Amino acid sequence: MSKTKLFEPYKLGPITLPNRLVMAPLTRNRAVAGMVPSPLAVEYYGQRASAGLLITEASQVSQQGQGYQDTPGIYSKEQVAGWRKVTDRVHERGGRIFIQTWHVGRVSHTSLQPNNGAPVAPSAMRAKGKTFVGGTFTDISEPRALTLEEIPGIIESFKRGTANALEAGFDGVEIHGANGYLLDQFARDSSNKRTDAYGGSIENRAKLMLEVAAVVAAEAGAERTGIRISPVTPANDVSDSNPQPLFDYIVDRLNALKLVYIHVIEGATGGPRDIAPFDYGSLRKRFKGTYVANNGYDFELATKVLAADAADLIAFGKPFISNPDLVERLKAGAPLNAFDKATFYGGGAKGYTDYPALGEALDAAQ
Ligand SMILES: Cc1cc2nc3c(=O)[nH]c(=O)nc-3n(C[C@H](O)[C@H](O)[C@H](O)COP(=O)(O)O)c2cc1C
C-alpha cells in the first residue's frame, strides 16, 4: 500500500482529529416527526464515529429554510433535544461532529413553507429542478424575492441555529454556502438580479454569505466555524459568469474572519470534477486555515492530494453512506460495500443503519 497521510492526526482549531477523513454532509430525509432527528439517526452517526470529523446532513435554521420533506431542523427545542442524543452518542464513541446549517432559499415547495407561501430567493426566478415532497420528486415552486428588510431575519436565523447547535453539544458548525442554496443563490449572478446592496457587484453578491459567516463565527467562535462552497457546481440551477474572482474574493474575506475551515466541492457535486476550469489552488493559497477537499475522492486521489499539500482533510460522501467503518476499511485496504441509491432519501433502517462493518460482514459470510 502506498504511503498516505490519510491516517495521520490533524489539529482542527481546538480539536484534534485522529485521521484526515471527514464524513461529508448527507441528506437522508428520515426526520419524520417534527423534523427531529430520529433514534435511527443516533445509531447512524454513532456507527460512523471513527471518521476524523463527522458533518451532519444539512439542517434548516427555520421552517422557511426547508426545501425537502423530513430533513431535520435546528430551530425548535425538540430538534435540539433530538440532536443532543446524536452528539452524545458520537462523543461516547470517541468521535467529533459539526452540524451543517442550511437555508434552501428558492429550492423549496409551497407545501413546506409557513402558511404555504412562496419560497424566498434573491430574485423571483424559479430554479429548474425538482424537490422531494410527499414521497416523490416534485417541481420546485415559484419563489418571491426577499425584501431588504427581511435580510436581517435570515442572518438572525443562522445565529439562532448556531446557538442551538452549541446547546445540542456540537463541536462546531458548517455553514452551507454551496450547491445552489440561499447563500450560493445570492453569490452567483445567474440567480441574483438584485439592484440593492445585495446584488450587482461581487462584493454585494457575497455580502449575505459573509454576514452570515461573521455572526456564526461570533456565536460559535471562528475556530469552530467552517463553511462549504462549490464554486462551479451547476447543482440546483445556479451558475456564475466569472466564478474565479467571485470565490477568490469570498475566500479572502473568510480568511480575514479566521474561519477554521473552507470545505470545497471541486467540480459538479457528485459529478465531473473537471466540469469547468477553476483554480482551487488559488483558494488554497488565500486561505490560511484548513482546506477540506470533496467530490469523487477515493483512497488514491486522497493520498495524492494530501501528499501534494493541496488539501488538509478529505471529505467522503457516498463511501460513508455504505461503509460505517470507512476509516478501518481504507486502512486495511479492504473492499468497500456498494451503496444503494434507492435508499438515499427517506425510509427507515434499510440502507441507513444496516450497512455492515468489516467484522460484521465476515461474520455474516461464515
Ligand atoms: C444522498 C446525498 C445527500 C447529500 N446531502 C448533502 C447535504 O445535506 N449537504 C451538502 O452540502 N451536500 C450534500 N450532498 C453532497 C455530498 O456531500 C458530496 O458533496 C457529494 O456526494 C460528492 O462527494 P462523494 O463523491 O464523496 O460522494 C449529498 C450527496 C448525496 C449523495
- Residue 281 alpha carbon to ligand 1 centre in Å: 22
pLDDT of residue 364: 57
User: Is 176 close to ligand 1, i.e. is its CB under 6 Å away?
Assistant: yes
Which residue's alpha carbon is at the smallest distance from atom 30 of ligand 1? 26
Atom of ligand 1 nearest to the CA of 315: 26
Query: The pTM is what?
Result: 0.98
Q: What CA–CA distance (Å, rounded) separates 292 from 24?
A: 10
Which residues are identified as catalytic?
A: 181
pLDDT of residue 13: 97
- Residue 17 alpha carbon to ligand 1 centre in Å: 21
- Residue 350 alpha carbon to ligand 1 centre in Å: 19
pLDDT of residue 360: 81
Phi, psi at residue 326, to the nearest 5°? -55, -40
- Residue 133 alpha carbon to ligand 1 centre in Å: 19
Print the SS3 string covering the chain. CCCCCCCCCEEECCEEECCCEEECCCCCCCCCCCCCCCHHHHHHHHHCCCCCEEEEEEEECCHHHCCCCCCCECCCHHHHHHHHHHHHHHHHCCCCEEEEEECCCCCCCHHHCHHHCCCEECCCCCCCCEEEECCEEEECCCCEECCHHHHHHHHHHHHHHHHHHHHCCCCEEEEECCCCCHHHHHHCCCCCCCCCCCCCCHHHHHHHHHHHHHHHHHHHCHHHEEEEECCCCCHHHCCCCCHHHHHHHHHHHHHHCCCCEEEEECCCCCCCCCCCCCCHHHHHHHCCCEEEEECCCCHHHHHHHHHCCCCCEEEECHHHHHCCCHHHHHHHCCCCCCCCHHHCCCCCCCCCCCCCCHHHHHHHHC
pLDDT of residue 191: 98
Q: For the chain, 366 residues long, give each residue's pLDDT as a single digit of tens.
A: 469 999 999 999 999 999 999 999 999 999 999 999 999 999 999 999 999 999 999 999 999 999 999 999 999 999 999 999 999 999 999 999 999 999 999 999 999 999 999 999 999 999 999 999 988 899 999 999 999 999 999 999 999 999 999 999 999 999 999 999 999 999 999 999 999 999 999 999 999 999 999 999 999 999 999 999 999 999 999 999 999 999 999 999 999 999 999 999 999 999 999 999 999 999 999 999 999 999 999 999 999 999 999 999 999 999 999 999 999 999 999 999 999 999 999 999 999 999 999 988 666 554
User: Is 179 close to ligand 1, i.e. is its CB under 6 Å away?
Assistant: yes
pLDDT of residue 136: 87
Q: Give the domains, in start order, of the chain with CATH numbers.
A: 10-365 (3.20.20.70)
pLDDT of residue 49: 98
pLDDT of residue 180: 98
User: Is 178 close to ligand 1, i.e. is its CB under 6 Å away?
Assistant: yes
User: Is 226 close to ligand 1, i.e. is its CB under 6 Å away?
Assistant: no
Which residue's alpha carbon is at the smallest distance from atom 25 of ligand 1? 296
User: Is 271 close to ligand 1, i.e. is its CB under 6 Å away?
Assistant: no
Which residue's alpha carbon is at the smallest distance from atom 18 of ligand 1? 317
- Residue 180 alpha carbon to ligand 1 centre in Å: 13
Atom of ligand 1 nearest to the CA of 345: 1
- Residue 56 alpha carbon to ligand 1 centre in Å: 11
pLDDT of residue 135: 85
User: Is 162 close to ligand 1, i.e. is its CB under 6 Å away?
Assistant: no
Q: Which of 56, 266, 269 to mutate to test the pocket of ligand 1 (most atoms within 8 A of CB)?
A: 269
